[in-house]
Amino acid sequence: MNDESAWVAGVDGCRAGWVVVWHPLDAKQSARVAIFATFADVLAMPEKPAVIAIDIPIGLPDITGPGGRSCDAAVRKFLGVRASSLFSVPSRSAVYSADYGAACTQASRTSDPPRKISKQAFNLFPKMRELDGLMTPDIQGRVVECHPEFVFWRLNGSLALEHSKKSSHGARSRRDLLVRAGYPSAVFDRVSFRRKDACKDDVIDAFAAASVACDILRGKARRVPVCPEIDRKGLRMEIWG
């Protein structure tokens, strides 16, 4: 599919909800950026993007092996020093646990070898539950999981970026890659959110997600694995980059 009139969107979670970057496939210079309170609001966008790429896990397993889902473990191999940016997604029962202690207990019971979860991963569970509650196999026809560092790996000639996105050098190198991918630098300069609502790296990650949404429509993106596992909701467990 390569419909130049189609819209695409990239989404990343933030403190105030979801940072969304959206634009027509052939008009990156007109990219819009806003914060949506809920993912249901993203799905209801009047532009109806043909592809919405989001940096949140889609598809939750009942049991996990070493490294989480098979797609997590596979993508992590590409990321080099950035491998730790992709956490191991635990079981659905762990994600739906009421508190951190219960989540650790449930994650240990449903992983082989038994493995608890980090507080950082636990803090993502509300966003994961929000998305999982909305996702269906039909919706996955246009809403796909991506990982920004996997996107940047591909944009960087299949090389992992050396510096963290939190560092000034890392932020600049990621922005430079997005400019090379077609986003004018002026687009980034127009974006300004309160830090209590969204961080600068949330915005950069949303742009990376929008970029891979474009490349999915153009047949240039990479999906891992090629033949994904399916969770009990019928959702494919795959990552695009």
Q: What is the pLDDT at residue 5? A: 83
- Which residue ranges form the domains of the chain, and what is each CATH number? 1-87+128-241 (3.30.420)
pLDDT-flagged residues of the chain (< 70): 1-2, 4
Q: Name residue, tokens 């997005």.
A: 178
Q: How far is C-alpha 26 from the geometric centre of its chain's CA atoms?
A: 22
CB 156 within 8 A of CB 212: no
Amino acid of residue 213: A
Q: How many Cα atoms occupy the beta-carbon half-sphere of 194 within 13 Å?
A: 5
Phi, psi (deg, nearest 5) at residue 66: -60, 130
CB 6 within 8 A of CB 50: yes
Q: Name residue, tokens 């098979």.
A: 70
Q: What is the pLDDT at residue 2? A: 55
CA dist list (Å): 10 to 62, 115, 117? 28, 31, 27
